[in-house]
């Protein structure tokens, strides 16, 4: 059992969903927190709830993490606080035919999902490697395993995060560094993701959607065991296994049929 009491975690995208769940789970384990997102009211409400329940230290940083400069700015704000764990959770998706999506909006999504997460990982992994201790959890997606029509750019960002996570985990392991890196790859989960992406909740989606808190607990446990990838729920793991045997074109067509808006 890893003792996290008195250590400190930085959680991005902490205002709701997985981010808020991670905050609760890690505070329960005794970690102090730095939580960041754009919505100050939700962060402050989460801070008050965490302090009341667990009595740990919580610092709120309100900022938009889109892009390299924002990630560097966040690192500068916390680099002297001896961060032990980075939870790269900030990100979102955009649902539609790619040709209908605004290029600037797609760019902002890629900047947040990829550039910000990669930059924070690069900055913090140096600190973790130097002290030979630390954890990095990157929130990817089931979409990382499959070309995903209607989420073409989003799915590509999550494929990047998953492969990036496994690659740097392998580097650290082979160099004998006691730094754990894990990619969380959930399927559709009952967070704000679907609404933010502007996807309608179909009957099929309602049937397969999962709960976020158990998935977040599984992710944290997997991170502490240095698992390369955590994919909550058997149905997701079975689907990902099955997809290995399909040509990518057929896998993409299957995804198209399953998540397109029928209306």
Residues in the chain: 263
* 206 assigned to some structural domain: yes
CATH number for position 83: 3.40.50.720
DSSP assigned state of 192: S
Intervals of the chain under pLDDT 70: 188-195, 197, 199-210, 234-243, 245-246, 254-258, 262-263
- Tell how strand 134-139 and strand 85-88 pair up: parallel
* Separation between Cα atoms, residue 238 and residue 235, nearest integer Å: 5
* 149 assigned to some structural domain: yes
Active site residues: 154
pLDDT tens profile 3-33: 999 999 999 999 999 999 999 999 999 999 9
* 238 assigned to some structural domain: yes
* 54 assigned to some structural domain: yes
Write the CB contacts of 176 (distance below 8 Å, at least 6 apart in sequence).
Answer: none
Phi first, then psi: what are they for 63, rounded to 5°? -165, 155
Number of folded domains that form the chain: 1
CB atoms within 10 A of CB 242: 11
* 133 assigned to some structural domain: yes
* 2 assigned to some structural domain: no
* 1 assigned to some structural domain: no
What range defines the domain where residue 164 resides? 8-259
* Separation between Cα atoms, residue 94 and residue 89, nearest integer Å: 16
Task: For residue 70, give both structure tokens.
Answer: 């924002």
* Separation between Cα atoms, residue 52 and residue 183, nearest integer Å: 30
* 118 assigned to some structural domain: yes
Beta-bridge partner residues of 11: 35, 87
pLDDT tens profile 45-60: 999 999 999 999 999 9
- Tell how strand 32-37 and strand 58-62 pair up: parallel
């Amino acid at each position: 059992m890893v003792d996290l009491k008195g250590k400190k975690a930085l959680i991005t995208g902490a205002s709701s969903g997985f981010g808020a769940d991670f905050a609760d789970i890690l505070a329960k384990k005794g970690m102090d927190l730095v939580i960041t997102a754009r919505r100050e009211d939700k962060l402050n409400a989460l801070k008050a709830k965490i302090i009341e329940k667990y009595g740990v230290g919580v610092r709120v940083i309100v900022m938009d993490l889109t892009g390299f400069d924002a990630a560097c700015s966040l690192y500068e704000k916390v680099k002297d606080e001896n961060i032990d764990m980075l939870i790269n959770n900030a990100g979102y998706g955009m649902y539609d035919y790619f040709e209908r999506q605004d290029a600037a909006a797609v760019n902002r999504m890629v900047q947040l999902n990829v550039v910000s997460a990669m930059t924070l990982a690069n900055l913090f992994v140096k600190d973790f490697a130097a002290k030979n201790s630390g954890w990095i959890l990157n929130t990817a997606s089931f979409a990382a395993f499959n070309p995903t029509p209607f989420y073409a750019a989003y799915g590509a960002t999550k494929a990047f995060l998953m492969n990036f996570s496994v690659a740097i985990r392998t580097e650290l392991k082979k160099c004998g560094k006691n730094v754990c890196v894990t990619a969380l790859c959930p399927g559709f989960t009952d967070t704000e993701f679907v609404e933010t992406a502007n996807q309608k909740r179909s009957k099929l989606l309602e049937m397969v959607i999962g709960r976020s808190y158990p998935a977040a607990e599984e992710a944290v446990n997997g991170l502490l065991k240095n698992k390369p990838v955590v994919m909550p729920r058997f149905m997701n793991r079975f689907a990902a296994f099955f997809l290995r045997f399909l040509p990518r074109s057929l896998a993409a067509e299957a995804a198209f049929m399953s998540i397109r808006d029928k209306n």
